[in-house]
Amino acid sequence: MNSSFPSWRRLHQQTDKTVLSSAADKSGFPPGTLIHIGEKHESESKISVTQYNADTLIQHKITSIAELKQLQNSELITWVNVDGLSDTHIVESIGQELNIHPLVLEDILSTHQRPKLEEYEDFLYLVIKGISINPEKDFNLQYEQISILLLANHVITFKEKADDTFDPIYSHLQNRNGRLRQLGSDYLAYVILDTVVDEYFVVEDSLDEIIDPLEDNILFNSNKEMLQTVQQIRRGLISMKRNISPLRELLATIQRADTPLLKEKTLRYYGDVYDHVLRVTDALESYRERISAMHDIYLSSISNKMNETMKILTIFASIFIPLTFIAGIYGMNFEYMPELKWRWAYPTLWIIFIAIGVGLLLFFKKKKWM
């Protein structure tokens, strides 16, 4: 009798496993179960709180959401940023504090979400993908899911790891006369979106630096390494398009949203981000066409090289076929072959061989076959 449990049951018994690598691993768990799905980064979860208005800017580092309660101030915009999702208790505590739907908390911890916008009565939930490129490797793209909760006076952001993505925003906040300090939480959410989308242009510039020389060399210096680079870029472009294209729908939905959380004045700025996303997606389509053309050029180049090789081999074979025929005749062991007794038969035969070879070479050249 087989006493083993079904796979979902065995997985459910692993109560200490709070990090899964794939969404498929979560099969069998009840909806709303808070488990981090995605790459586990070594850095611990960190919480930073920034509060501001036109006259005030306060920044805090806190260790628990309990400390956030003491910082509540209705006169200030509060931006809470969580770096690292390995500690699910932080996400759960924020959900309890701000009355966030459990399914939203589940999506925050599942880092395989596509960019999307969900409207709720008291908040908006946005998911976008941060994309960066590793300069130490050729077109090695790194993805990071960034979740945004937009409330009346709060913006909560969740990132997979600690990095410098939001450093430009912190710098803008130092300017007390800047638009960011003058406007509300919906404008902060726009600035976050705009900052992430601007990183796409950095990746686009890196693509130009990689594709341009590759395009110049692939016709004359094609090799397996170049083909591998082309294939890697092609896969990267497909992945980028999959993660960027849904942003158009997200931003279009924002501009049509009927919610008091988004002021009409701020919606114009979201339209600017929409234009940026269109530029990026158009550029990606152009890159895909160039990569496809380069792949075709590579195959044509290989085919041309093979044809050149086959042409040279065919020419040599064509020259030696008549010579082999003559040599074959005089290699027969017949006794009464008149030419075998001639004094000058051997040098005459070499003259014939050379004449045939030179004649065929001149003929091939006249026909432009070589």
Q: Can you give the pLDDT of all 370 residues of the chain as single tens digits?
A: 343 433 433 333 444 445 555 555 555 555 656 776 666 665 678 889 999 988 889 988 888 787 887 778 778 899 999 988 888 888 888 888 888 888 899 888 888 888 999 998 889 999 999 998 876 666 788 899 999 999 988 999 999 888 888 999 999 999 888 899 889 899 999 999 999 999 999 888 888 888 888 877 776 776 777 788 888 888 888 889 999 999 999 998 998 888 889 988 898 999 999 999 999 999 989 888 888 888 888 888 788 788 888 888 888 888 888 888 888 888 887 777 777 777 888 888 888 889 988 888 888 888 777 7
Tokens at 280, concatenated = 């990026």
Handedness of CA 355, 358, 364, 368 (dihedral sign): negative
Q: Where in the chain is the domain with CATH 3.30.460.20?
A: 7-300
- Tell me if residue 28 falls in helix, strand or coil: coil
Between the two ends of the chain, the Cα-to-Cα distance in Å is: 77
For CATH 1.20.58.340, list the domain ranges present in the chain: 301-366
110: β partners: 37
Angle between helices 224-244 and 246-256 (to 10 degrees): 20
Range 301-366 classified under CATH 1.20.58.340 = yes
CATH number at 7-300: 3.30.460.20
Spatial strand order of the sheet with 124-134 comes to: 57-62, 46-52, 77-83, 154-159, 140-150, 124-134, 116-119
pTM of the model: 0.76
Query: 158, 87 in Cβ contact below 8 A?
Result: no
Helix (H) or strand (E) holding 82: strand 77-83
